[in-house]
């Protein structure tokens, strides 16, 4: 049995529509121009605060810590109320998760999203029960790419870190897996700012229909 640890945004769920809508709502409140969807989509990955900070930098605006705290709180409040207006699982996800579970693998989520937002999103989409652990940036007080957050997530799910695989969409996920010394599967439909192949994950999939074969291949390399 392996523990398969998934990133959330851009890996399990296409959350960009609601995140970008929230970002542009906050920018409008600040009387700043919105950011086009395709550009803003690539700002996702470091958590909501990171997304907001990068958006403001792109607009040439610097903020004090107190001002950023205020904007971040407003972002979280608005996003929480609209968390699944347009966010949806990526195609074939549920069938892929079902295959993993039926083959005895544990499933977990390790994300830089806040834990309660992650659980709310997955609850709303009726996916939360699929995962033995859902851990966010605030769960342990550390976040990816620190490998310890990966290890702690695996342990919370009841697994062993040496018997785990990471599935993600970004350099952050790949760096986390490398630091934790576990294999990593990358999806090529997520929010990476660069072509995912340039980051050299162990496997790349273009659909969750391809996940079972990738897991079988990598399982053969596990101790």
State the catalytic residue, choosing from 7, 14, 18, 173: 7
145 upstream amide cis, omega within 30 of 0 = yes
Taking phi over 0 as left and psi of -120 to 50 as alpha, with beta for the rest, 195 belongs to: beta
Tokens matching residue 178: 């490398």
Using DSSP, state whether 78 is helix, strand or coil.
helix
Question: How far, in Å, CA of 87 to CA of 106, rounded?
Answer: 24
Residue 213 annotated among the catalytic residues of the structure: no
Nearest to 164 by CA among 128, 200, 110: 110
Cα 211 to the center of its chain, rounded Å? 17
What is the set of active-site residues?
A: 7
């Amino acid at each position: 049995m392996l523990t398969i640890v998934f990133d959330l945004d851009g890996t399990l769920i296409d959350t960009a529509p609601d995140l970008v809508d929230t970002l542009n709502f906050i920018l409008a409140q600040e009387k700043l121009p919105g950011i086009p969807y395709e550009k803003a989509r690539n700002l996702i990955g470091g958590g909501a605060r990171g997304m907001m900070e990068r958006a403001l930098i792109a607009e040439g605006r610097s903020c004090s810590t107190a001002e950023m705290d205020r904007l971040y709180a407003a972002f979280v409040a608005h996003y929480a109320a609209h968390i699944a207006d347009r966010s949806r699982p990526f195609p074939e996800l549920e069938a892929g998760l079902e295959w993993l579970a039926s083959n005895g693998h544990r499933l977990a989520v390790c994300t830089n999203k806040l834990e309660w937002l992650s659980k709310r999103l997955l609850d709303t989409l009726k996916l939360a029960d699929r995962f033995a652990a859902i851990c966010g940036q605030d769960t342990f007080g550390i976040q990816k790419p620190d490998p310890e957050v990966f290890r702690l997530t695996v342990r919370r799910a009841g697994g062993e870190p040496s018997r785990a695989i990471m599935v993600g969409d970004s350099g952050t996920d790949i760096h986390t897996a490398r630091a934790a010394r576990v294999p990593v599967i990358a999806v090529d439909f997520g929010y990476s700012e660069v072509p995912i192949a340039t980051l050299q994950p162990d496997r790349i999939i273009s659909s969750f229909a391809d996940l079972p074969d990738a897991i079988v291949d990598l399982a053969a390399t596990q101790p």
